[in-house]
Structure 1
Amino acid sequence: MEKIILLLTESSLETVPKELLNDPVIIKDAKRRDVNPKYLILDRARHHRAMIRLVNAEKRGRPDIVHQALLLIQGSLLARNKLVKTYIHTINDLVIDVDPEIRPPRNYDNFIGLMSQLFEVGRVPPVGKPLMKIVSGINYVLSMELPDRKILLDDVRGKELSLRSFIDYVRNFKRPLVMIGAFPRGSFEERTYWLADDVVKIGKYVMDTSSILCRLLTVLEIELGLIT
């Protein structure tokens, strides 16, 4: 395996949708953060009352899932050895290209501020080498990375494999693309299933994004000799 490409898929990361921009909860939070409401990051912890009427609300407003995932991936030994490349695919079908060298802010509020800037400007930082940038979509990932296998990790439709069997399988490919959902509940869109060559479930239990990543990254690091 030359490199593993991780796509945080249908991530619960978005700016406040236009139908909520005039909601008092949103206006108050935008003023407090000194952010234009159009670029305020939707967050259920702060915007729950406003989100009640949103379509697909149970799947939205959890940017903390992306934050935790990025901290795990970008802080891994795989990242330090340039063996992993990260992309974020959002629930609104945007794709964010994450520079392999970025170390995301550990403070959540700082991360949210960075994401607001990213959605406003299209990249962070605004000048110089971009550490994150919004790109055209999943086809960008496929054309840039040329993965030789596209694997979706899903608890609903996935074929059950042990973690060891999954790692052995992934290592058969030079540049596998592994898609991991980064939303709190609900199902993948059909277009995500169509994209995958394989749909796999690791073990018998439903695991959240961070739990899957912890296991996947650690076992890969052991198998590749990065941890002895």
Structure 2
Amino acid sequence: MDKVILLLTEASLETIPKELLSDPVIIRDAKRRGVNPRYLILDRARHHRAMTRLPNAEKRGRPDILHQALLLIQGSLLARNNLVKTYVHTVNDLVIDVDPEIRPPRNYDNFIGLMSQLFEVGRVPPVGKPLMRFVNGINYVLNTESPDRKILLDDVKGKEVSLKSFIDYVKNFKRPLIMIGAFPRGSFEERTYGLADDVLKIGKYIMDTSSILCRLLTALEIELGLIS
């Protein structure tokens, strides 16, 4: 295995939908944060009342899930040894290229501010080497990384395998692409299933994004000899 490509899929990261821009909850929060409402990040913790009329609301407004996931991946031994490459695919089908060297802010408010800048400018930081930037969709990831296997981890439709079996399988590929959902509940879109060569589930329990990543990253680090 040369490198693992991680795609945080259908991540609950988006700016305020246009149908909510005039909502008093949104206007108040934008003023308090000093942000143009167009680039305010939708967050259920602050915008729950406004979100009740949104379609597919159960999957939206949870950027904290992505924040936690990026902290785990980018702070891992895999990242320190250039053995993992991260991309983010959002609930609105946008794709973000994450530089291997980025260490996301640990403070959540700082992270949200960074995401607002990303949506406004298209990259962060605005000048110099981009640490996060929007790219041209999933095809960019496939064409750039040329994965030799695309695996979707899914609690709903996945074939159950043990963590050991999963690692034994993945290590046979040079550049496996592993897709992990970064949303709170619900199922993947059909277009996501259509990308996968395998749809698997690790163990019999439903696990959130951080739980899956903790187990997966540690198991890979052990397999690759980074820790014993």
Which category of TM-score, normalised to the shorter sequence, fits these structures?
over 0.9
Quote the residue 1:156 is aligned against. Answer: 156
Q: CA deviation at 1:62?
A: 0.1
> 1:18-167 alignment to 2 at 5 Å?
18-167=18-167
Quote the residue 2:193 is aligned against. Answer: 193
Q: CA deviation at 1:170?
A: 0.5
Correspondence 1:211 to 2:214: no
Write the letter of the residue equivalent to 1:127: V
Quote the residue 1:4 is aligned against. Answer: 4
Write the letter of the residue equivalent to 1:107: N
Superimposed CA distance per residue, residues 61-94 of structure 1 (whole angstroms, 9 cap, x where no aligned partner): 0000000000000000000000000000000000
Q: CA deviation at 1:191?
A: 0.4
Superimposed CA distance per residue, residues 147-202 of structure 1 (whole angstroms, 9 cap, x where no aligned partner): 00000000111000000000110101000000000000000000000110000000
Superimposed CA distance per residue, residues 33-71 of structure 1 (whole angstroms, 9 cap, x where no aligned partner): 100000000000000000000000000000000000000
Q: CA deviation at 1:112?
A: 0.0
Quote the residue 1:202 is aligned against. Answer: 202
Distance 1:154 1:193 in 2: 9
Distance 1:170 1:42 in 2: 35
SS in 2 for 1:71: helix
Q: CA deviation at 1:211?
A: 0.1
Distance 2:223 2:193 in 1: 28
Distance 1:146 1:80 in 2: 22
Write the letter of the residue equivalent to 1:188: F
Q: CA deviation at 1:222?
A: 0.6
Q: CA deviation at 1:127?
A: 0.2
Superimposed CA distance per residue, residues 192-228 of structure 1 (whole angstroms, 9 cap, x where no aligned partner): 0011000000000000000000000001001111002
TM-score when normalising by structure 2: 1.00
Distance 1:110 1:168 in 2: 38
Write the letter of the residue equivalent to 1:163: L
Q: CA deviation at 1:146?
A: 0.2
Write the letter of the residue equivalent to 1:205: Y
SS in 2 for 1:110: helix
Write the letter of the residue equivalent to 1:104: P
Runs of 4+ aligned residues of structure 1 deviating over 3 Å after TM superposition are none
Q: Give 5+ residue unaligned stretches, structure 1.
A: none
RMSD over aligned CA atoms reads 0.3
Write the letter of the residue equivalent to 2:201: K
SS in 2 for 1:206: coil
Write the letter of the residue equivalent to 1:226: L
SS in 1 for 2:174: coil
Write the letter of the residue equivalent to 2:127: V
Identical pairs, percent: 87
Quote the residue 1:17 is aligned against. Answer: 17
Write the letter of the residue equivalent to 2:113: G
SS in 1 for 2:151: strand
